[in-house]
Amino acid sequence: MVRTLISVSTGNCVTPKYILVVELFNRVMIFMKSRFMPLWFTLVVTVLSAVISAPVLAQTSAYLLEGVPVVVPLPLDDGLRPRQVAIVEAEKKAWSRFMSRAVARSEQREKANLFNMLQKDLGPLVKRTIVQSERRKVDGSAINYVVDVEFSRKDVLHVFRKEHVSYNETPYPQVLMVTARKKGNEWQRYFDPMDSMVMAFQKAAAPLGLNVVVPLGDVDDMVNLPWSQIEQGSPGLQKWADSRYGAGQVWGVGMTVSPLSSKESKVGKVAEGQLPSTHKAYGMLLAFDQDGGVTSHKASAEGLPLGQHLLQDYPSVQEIVAAKLMQRVVDQWVQDNSVVPGDAHGVEIVVRHNTDLKRLAVFMHLVQRLPGITDLLPAQLSAQQSVLRATYQGADQRLMDTLIRKGWATQSADGKLIVQFQ
């Protein structure tokens, strides 16, 4: 889903609960520390324990596929009811979307027989299905449905662990997408939320579960979103995008569309599911890396440009390119954040925070959302140092590497992870 922000929020991409806790710490710390040390520390322990025991939203939202569109052509064979057909098709479509976000394509190919078998009977994995809307076409030729499908996390993970399938439960962070046009040999940034390229990415984002926002295009954006910094993957720009738009990721996207020559043009047969190809599109997507820098993705396609194709059920050439680019980004994300199946075990994390309780709360929130973390509780809290106990599925070295990559000074000692606030 791509949307233009009307109101702008600030902060560190944390839930309102965490923001409230952080502000509480800031306002009461000085007063409480100086006069009521025991009461102050009790308050800290109580609030942090309540916050850190909050459920991980990523784990639940990963299994809920909302707004799945289904078209049921009419008339149907005897004995078939449109709504039943729509639900079956919606569950299959939702499963395909879920798989694109949860399991790397390489693993899907390796275990194709397993996933084909699951696709044939999704009933045991479906928790609930809700039909949100049902609209019959004016000519009576079909009924359009919009369906929400939620899979059972418990049942899906039971299958994945039994069959040793690596999986990802971490949703891709909210994206700030900056657009550019090519002039000569250079890309130049521009702001236009109604541009055909933005609309193409809007359509491609929903099936992949991506939440993409576009800049307002005001003076602040013009000053802080230079294309040169996007090409470089500037950490400062990433922090600014996080602060203003709550975006944990920045994309720079560009696309060119040009007509094919008469020799290159292809005339398709619409009745056989083909469309004529009159244009060719080239697209590129620059995605900021978790480790710093930027990764470039490129794609091309032939087809009809947006606004010129007559059948809405067929994607435009811009939509095809946008879908290819976004799928490649998601594939990399799934691969980087997949959890290796195995028995969950406890990991002790010693945090030397030196009275910086605001940062401790942010650190707890980050750890709780890391791939493989299923539980996190404070075992010991003190003014200078705290101990957290995490239930983790994966190798401890991978957890340490992830924390280091995210900017936390971490080392291993005596079977524990030691995090030192700088």
DSSP 93-142: HHHHHHHHHHS-HHHHHHTHHHHHHHHH--GGGEEEEEEEEEEE-TTSSE
Looking at the structure, tell me whether residues 139 and 207 fall in a common domain. Answer: no
**Tell me, what's the pLDDT at 291?**
63
Looking at the structure, tell me whether residues 255 and 375 fall in a common domain. Answer: no
Closest CA to 232 of 295, 181, 169, 171: 295
**Tell me, what's the pLDDT at 279?**
87
**Tell me, what's the pLDDT at 267?**
53
Looking at the structure, tell me whether residues 196 and 328 fall in a common domain. Answer: yes
Tally the residues of the chain: 422
The helix or strand, by DSSP H or E, that contains position 163, with its residue range, turns out to be none
Written as tens digits, the pLDDT of the chain (422 aa) is 444 443 333 333 444 444 454 455 555 454 444 454 455 555 555 555 555 444 444 455 789 999 999 999 999 988 889 999 999 999 999 999 999 999 999 999 999 999 999 999 999 999 999 999 999 999 999 999 999 999 999 999 899 989 989 998 888 889 999 999 998 889 999 999 888 899 899 888 988 888 899 999 999 999 999 999 999 988 889 889 989 999 989 999 999 999 887 665 665 544 444 567 788 999 999 998 866 689 999 999 988 887 655 555 578 889 999 999 999 999 988 988 888 776 678 899 999 998 888 888 888 888 887 877 888 888 888 888 999 999 887 778 888 888 887 888 999 998 899 999 98
What one-letter code names the amino acid at 178?
A: V
**Residue 292 backbone class (left: φ over 0; alpha: ψ -120 to 50; beta: rest):** left
Domain-located, residue 169:
no
The count of C-alpha atoms lying within 13 angstroms of the C-alpha of 195, restricted to the half-sphere facing its C-beta, is 22
Looking at the structure, tell me whether residues 263 and 358 fall in a common domain. Answer: no
Domain-located, residue 147:
yes
Q: Last residue of a domain, which of 304, 337, 370?
A: 337
Domain-located, residue 168:
no
The count of C-alpha atoms lying within 13 angstroms of the C-alpha of 14, restricted to the half-sphere facing its C-beta, is 23
Q: Which two tokens stand for residue 269?
A: 């047969």
Domain-located, residue 42:
yes
Q: Last residue of a domain, which of 291, 318, 337?
A: 337
The count of C-alpha atoms lying within 13 angstroms of the C-alpha of 313, restricted to the half-sphere facing its C-beta, is 12
Structural domains counted in the chain = 3
Q: Residue 303: give its domain's CATH number.
A: 3.30.160
Provide the domain limits for residue 373. Answer: 2-59+340-420
Looking at the structure, tell me whether residues 214 and 319 fall in a common domain. Answer: yes
The helix or strand, by DSSP H or E, that contains position 298, with its residue range, turns out to be strand 294-303
Looking at the structure, tell me whether residues 79 and 131 fall in a common domain. Answer: yes
**Torsions phi, psi of 214, nearest 5?**
-115, 150
